[in-house]
Copies of this chain bind each other. A is one copy, B any other.
Amino acid sequence: MRIVVDAMGSDNHPEPDVMGAVAAAREWGDEIILVGDEERIRAVLARQDTANLPLRVVHAGEVITMTDVPSEASRQKQDSSMHVGMNLVKAGKADAFVSAGNTGGVLAVAMLQTLRRIRGIKRPALGVLFPIKGNPMLIDNGANADARPEFLLQFAQIGSLYVERVRGVPNPRVALLSNGEEEGKGNELIKETIPLLAGSGLNYIGNVEPKEFIFGAADVAVADGFTGNIIMKTAEAIASYMSETIREEIKANPLTTLGGLLARPAFARVRRRLDPDEVGGAPLLGVDGVVIVAHGRSSAYAIKQAVGQARQAVAHDIVGAIRAGVAANPSSEKVEIQQ
């Protein structure tokens, strides 16, 4: 297996990206292709022990930055690490692409410039695996800020395929993420999507509220990308606000400070259990190649985990499965991607 890692992706690139790639090569022995500024990549590699590791460097002269406007940068920076990396996958010279870079940039380069959509896919979607028990998938997590019922139906289909094939969950429970379980709850989009899911042949269990999703009631929760992204960001914000509040209150007096010190290993375990770095990136589903998007603030460990996620997706041929799934659920409607 040959996996491309975008060396220019993370906020602190290229260090975490390169070091994560090295760790992945060491752990699994698969070939890792580092794409980006060759000189900077080699400078980081020179500080590691990489003897005998299956690492390769491919130079790319441009970088799509966090502040670039995705649609423009994807057109103008054709020699970016994202373009070069995904073109390796497209040409069959690599099996997957991993990036912690500008998410919109990855989406635009994948969908509009390089890999493009799998035939029959209306809109690719980002499926994030929540760092909670069972790692249920929330899809879409921001690829499509506005969606239509037939898009949500396809998100459900490809999310269910991923969770079944790659995560090994038999017959995944698929739900619509809504503000109430009852029929009649939800916005127009939700209400119009319900009959499509009910007739989809998926294991559709109805609407779930955020609480039910967080407590494991579904394996795949479907939302438009705006809602999905807001949920993920709210979850992260509350977790961080609560941690800060707990820290403040524990430090407020000597006895609770002592208690906090004794309980420290428990807090460390909580942090690990809720760490988004553990699940290792979000698959961009529906493009014609395996693409995993990691957090901008990814550590080397998060990059390594994202490579792990990519390996699983390749090993279980998720792209072939989605292609076959779309063929089995043909759609008469043609939809063009709009910018």
**A interface residue numbers (CB < 8 A to B):** 69, 132, 142, 145-146, 177-179, 184-188, 190, 209-211, 213-215, 224-227, 229-231, 233-242, 245-246, 249-250, 252-253, 255-256, 258-267, 269-270, 273-274
Candidates B184, B239, B249; contact of A270 at CB < 8 Å:
B249
* Cβ distance A118 to chain B, nearest Cβ, rounded Å: 25
* Cβ distance A148 to chain B, nearest Cβ, rounded Å: 12
Question: Chain B contacts of A239 at CB under 8 A?
Answer: 238, 242
25 contacts between A and B (CB under 8 A): A145-B179, A145-B187, A145-B188, A178-B226, A179-B229, A190-B226, A210-B233, A210-B234, A210-B236, A210-B237, A213-B237, A214-B238, A234-B234, A235-B238, A238-B238, A242-B242, A245-B270, A245-B273, A246-B267, A249-B266, A252-B266, A256-B264, A259-B261, A260-B266, A263-B263
* Cβ distance A146 to chain B, nearest Cβ, rounded Å: 5
Question: Chain B contacts of A255 at CB under 8 A?
Answer: 262, 265
| A226 closest partner in B (C-beta) | B187
Contact residues of A: prevailing secondary structure: helix
CB atoms of B234 and A249 under 8 A apart: no
CB atoms of A256 and B265 under 8 A apart: yes
* Cβ distance A140 to chain B, nearest Cβ, rounded Å: 11
* Cβ distance A192 to chain B, nearest Cβ, rounded Å: 11
Question: Chain B contacts of A270 at CB under 8 A?
Answer: 242, 245-246, 249
Candidates B210, B252, B273; contact of A230 at CB < 8 Å:
B210
* Cβ distance A315 to chain B, nearest Cβ, rounded Å: 31
With A262-B259, A266-B260 in contact, do A215 and B241 touch (Cβ < 8 Å)? yes
A242 to B214, CA, bound (A): 10
Candidates B179, B214, B250; contact of A266 at CB < 8 Å:
B250
CB atoms of A245 and B260 under 8 A apart: no
CB atoms of A245 and B274 under 8 A apart: yes
CB atoms of B260 and A263 under 8 A apart: yes
With A142-B179, A186-B145, A226-B227 in contact, do A252 and B269 touch (Cβ < 8 Å)? yes
